[in-house]
Structure 1
Amino acid sequence: MSDLKELLAQREELEAQLAAAFKEERINVLDEVIRKMKIHRITLDEIRGPASAAAPKIAPKYRDPVSGREWSGRSKPPNWIKDVEDRTKYLIPA
C-alpha cells in the first residue's frame, strides 16, 4: 500500500512540474509571437481573418393569425403551430 501512496505522491509532483513547465513555455511562445508580429507588422485583424458573414435571414413561411408571430418552417416549430397537422392555413402567401 505504501508503494501506491509513493507513486501517487510522485504523480502529483510530476503534474505540478508539468503545469509549471507548460506555463513557462506558454509565456515564452506568446513573447515570441508578439515579437514576430511587431517585426513583420502583423495585426490581430490579419490573424483573425475576415469576419464571418452572418447567415442569411430566412423568410418566414408561416404566420399565426392571432399573435402575428412568424416561423420559417425550419428548426423546432413554435407552440402555436407544433400540434397542427394541416399547416396550409398558416402559410404566408408568396
Structure 2
Amino acid sequence: MVINVNGLSAKELKSLIAQAEKQQAKVMTRPKAAAMRAKINKYVKDHGYTIEELYGDLSSPASGRTKKPSGRKPARSAGSKVAPKYRNPANPNETWSGRGRQPRWLAALVEKGKSASDFLIK
C-alpha cells in the first residue's frame, strides 16, 4: 500500500501518524488468529455445537448449497452496472444499456419502422 504524503500539511501528517500508531497498537496487542480460532472452537464445543452447525459448511458457497459446474464460463462483467443508452419515450423509467436482448418496448418500436438510434439518451 502506498500513501502519498507529499501534499499533506503538518497537521494532516500528525493526524495520519496518530491513526497509524493507534492501528499498530491494536494489531500488535490482539491475539494471533490461530489462538483466537482455538478459543472460538473451544467455546463452540463447550456449548455442544460445531462450527458447521452454526455457520454451515465453510468450504461450500455462501448459499450453503454446492453448485454443479454448468460447463459455461461466467460472463466477464457479471453483475456490473452499465449506464443506460436508450430511453422509452412513452415511459422514461424504462431504459436499456444496449447490452443483451433488446427490450420489448424498443423491439416493438423498431418493428414499426423507427430506428433504435431515435431513442438514444443524449
TM-score of the alignment, normalized to the shorter chain, above 0.5: no
Name which one, 1 or 2, has greater alpha-carbon Rg. Answer: 1
TM-score bucket (shorter structure): 0.3 to 0.5
Higher relative contact order (CA closer than 8 Å, sequence separation 6+): 1
